[in-house]
Structure 1
Amino acid sequence: MAQHYAFTDNVRDLSNNDGFQFEFSCERCGNGHRSPFVRDKAEMAQNVLRTVGNFFGGNAHKLGSLADYWDRGTNSAAKDRAMSEAVETVRHEFRQCRGCSDWVCHDVCWNEQVGQCARCSPFVHEELSRAQSQAQVQQMHDQAREVDWNKNLDVSARTTVTCPHCSAKVDGGRFCSGCGQEFQVKRACPGCESTRNVPGAAFCSECGTRMG
């Protein structure tokens, strides 16, 4: 009859041809505990039979076939026993929460004072610290919105990202950080005295007079 084991829904089988090993993981944080590696005695005996069969050859090859048959006949029971032993080895590392029924690790995700996992009954001081940090960040955003960051920004002047004199990359401002030249030099039209012409304009955009 098949046996039933605790927290088998979060177990990973790491067994190989030489023996058995299992890894049990917390269903909240994912931290895991591995059971000790247990060599399969039946597999060790099979290896002996295979070695003898390969060495002598001939009819002795039947020993190798017997080893394969032995593996099919006993591996399931051996694995069941290894699984049962692995469960007992790591059982003390886990607790089952009565709130959500998850198996969680005792060291990180188990709230000993309440007797539930940290998802169902979070640690009060950790939650308070998290709430305080979130509130502080929110208050910083609120205070930043109250500041007029455009108070000294000339939004009527076109923003310059490349200096027209030395072609350096700049982050705005009135003067180039590479050559020191002023970006927005307003030149009055000699005809209509308009200062709305862009730097480098050959003719006035208002009256058509040559700019000089």
Structure 2
Amino acid sequence: MAMIEFVRNYSDHSTDRGYQFEFRCDHCSSGYMSSYKPSALGAAGSILEAASSIFGGFLGGARDSAYDIQRAIGGKAHDSALQEAVAEVKQKFSRCQRCGKWVCNEICWNTRAQQCTGCTPKYEQEIISQRTQAQLRASQQQLEDKAATTDYVSGIDVRPDVQIEFNHGNAEIEGHDVRQLPASANPATAAAAAVCAACKAPLTGGKFCGECGAPVARACPSCGTSASATAKFCNDCGTKL
């Protein structure tokens, strides 16, 4: 029998009843199944097996002999069936002269270039893929440019005596997500600020300094901005004092 030249990726689904093969593309692994070809000896074995069950066991020897005959010549019958299956399915494939792969005509064969798409991608599909990748890169760059021109810190007081509190765990630093706390909310800064602004004497509470009588400055409970002792509203955020 002549040598069979075809894909290396194939599966043999043959049984003692008949022959069938599946051939797969070397590039995408898509498969095509050949038509099922019954085995004449397999059919004869089935008839003898049925007759043996009806008439007892005297035909069992004949059945076993048929099975042995099938095994003995199965190699030639199998090769013949494989050759027919190749002839049937081969029209679904083309062989690339550049890399030697057998690829499916439907997806992995570039008809214009007469090569597989692994060696020469289809122009239209390659353009679509490159366009999509370019759009993704441009979108990322535009997002970075837009983020770079957005003000995220204009509402944050950077004075050392003001503590920043986020409303929730990994919040974005935006005006509605950040609020300023007065110095009194931070024990360390509160201790440093508990002195009279006029005479630097320690403050013990009240609206006036117990040492020099100067009015004690207050901090807005909302934004932390310092306010005079007589102010009724915060000059920065308008909160009532």
State the TM-score, normalized to the length of structure 1. 0.74
Deviation at 1:85, TM superposition (A): 0.7
User: What amino acid maps onto 2:117 in structure 1?
Assistant: A
Which residue of the partner structure matches residue 95 of structure 1?
Answer: 94
> Deviations along 1:76-109, whole A, 9 cap, x unmatched?
2221111111111111111000011000111221
Partner of 2:181: 186
Which residue of structure 2 lines up, in the alignment, with residue 160 of structure 1? 167
Runs of 4+ in 1 over 6 A off after TM superposition: 170-176
Determine the structure 2 residue equivalent to 1:206: 190
Q: Unaligned regions of 5+ residues in structure 1, if any?
A: 163-169, 177-182, 188-193
Partner of 1:68: 67
Query: Aligned runs of 1:1-212 on 2, under 5 Å?
Result: 3-147=2-146, 148=148, 151-153=151-153, 157-161=164-168, 184=179, 186-187=181-182, 194=183, 197=185, 205-207=189-191
Aligned residues of 1:50 and 1:63 also touching (Cα < 8 A): no
**Other structure's SS at 1:24 match:** strand
In structure 2, C-alpha distance between the alignment counterparts of 1:124 and 1:47, rounded to whole Å: 55
The residue type equivalent to 1:74 in the other structure is I
For 1:35-74, what per-residue CA distance to the aligned partner results, in whole angstroms no more than 9, with x for missing partners?
1111111100011122223332344321232133122112
The equivalent of 1:190 in structure 2 is none
* Aligned-residue identity in percent: 25
- Where 2:190 maps in the other structure, the secondary structure is coil
Partners of 1:173 and 1:140 in 2: how far apart?
23
Bigger radius of gyration among the two: 2
Letter in 1 for 2:87: E
Q: Quick one: distance in 2 between partners of 1:82 and 1:72?
A: 15
**Aligned partners of 2:53 and 2:172: how far apart in 1?**
78
Aligned to 2:219: none
In structure 2, relative to structure 1, the CA distance for the partners of 1:129 and 1:61 (3 Å cut) is closer
Contact 1:15/1:22 (8 A) holds in 2 = yes
* 1:186 aligned partner, one-letter code: L
The aligned amino acid for 1:161 is H
Aligned Cα RMSD in Å?
Answer: 3.1
2:213 paired residue number = none
CA contact (8 A) 2:165 2:181 kept: no
SS in 2 for 1:120: coil
C-alpha deviations, 1:155-188, integer Å up to 9, x for none? 77333327xxxxxxx8886769xxxxxx74624x
Q: How many residues align?
A: 188
- Residues 43 and 149 of structure 1, relative CA distance in 2, 3 Å threshold: farther
For residues 152 and 60 of structure 1, the distance between their equivalents in structure 2, rounded to whole angstroms, comes to 93
Residue equivalent to 1:180: none
SS at structure 1 position matched to 2:22: strand
SS in 1 for 2:94: strand
Q: Which amino acid is 2:181 matched to? A: K
SS across alignment from 1:108? coil
Q: Is the 8 A contact 2:42 2:67 kept in 1?
A: no
